[in-house]
Amino acid sequence: MRLAAQAISVAKRLSDVSLMLEPGTITAICGPNGAGKSTLLETLAGLLEPDSGAALLDGEPLAAMTPRTRGQKIGYLPQAHEIAWDVPVRSLVALGRMPHGDSDPAPVAASLAALDLQSFAERRAQSLSGGETARVLLARVLAGEPAWILADEPLAALDLAHQLALLRHLRSAAKAGAGVVLVLHDLALAMNHADRVVVLDKGRVAADGGCENALATEVVERVWGVTARWIGEPGQRALVTF
């Protein structure tokens, strides 16, 4: 089930962006502030209608799908981590089952376990810290068992241990056949954990491909405007800027 952007343009945010995203892989979307990363993710989730072009799932425009059908296939985590209702964490995570019209406890329990939230299950959602809230909202996405997981800066509020645990879980989801698309500001995390990196700059695709090529030092210097050097072995890269 391929997810695609077909010549997508959004006024002042994206210009003629075309991508074909493959299931079973982790794709990182990177770029400076204002590059269009969140806009692209919203468009791929079917939540933002582009001014021109289309987002497609297996060749079908997302705009032609009902919200329920789209919600069964695509799970989206926005950058803002807000919880409107002070319900128990388990109940909040179970909302991820709404597109399926059931309250199957198995995927809810699995997503709580995957994000180390079992001990939080009966706590009130609005009593959580920022990092805990981020994990709970991602667990809600995972409980829906979507074919595509789209997450905007999912690691930003997490400590190092939970970052690595989440990345391991997303890798497991990709190995099971899901497509994973992450907006990431941390280029080292993208380099070490993604299969593919799409670099946006001023609303356009500046680089796209394997991590070593898409995040080559000349790309980092051209797009981010800093002198940089990668050190370390593949899979354990660190970016030094100066």
pLDDT band at 80 (very low <50, low <70, confident <90, very high): confident
CA distance linking residue 130 with residue 115, whole number of Å: 14
Percent of the chain with pLDDT over 70: 100
Confidence at 16, pLDDT banded by 50, 70, 90? very high
Instruction: Write down the pTM of the prediction.
Output: 0.95
Q: Are strands 3-10 and 148-152 parallel, antiparallel or unpaired?
A: unpaired
Both tokens of 134, joined, read 């981020």
The answer to whether 86 and 40 are in contact (CB under 8 A) is: no
Backbone angles phi, psi at 146, to 5 degrees: -75, 155
Domains observed in the chain: 3-83+146-241 (3.40.50.300)
Per-chain mean pLDDT for the chain: 95
Residues 50-54 have a mean pLDDT of 97
User: What would the pLDDT profile of 82-132 be if each residue is shown by its tens digit?
Assistant: 788 899 999 999 999 999 999 899 999 999 998 889 999 999 998 998 889
Nearest one of 54, 7, 24 to 180, comparing CA atoms: 24
- For the chain, the residue count is 242
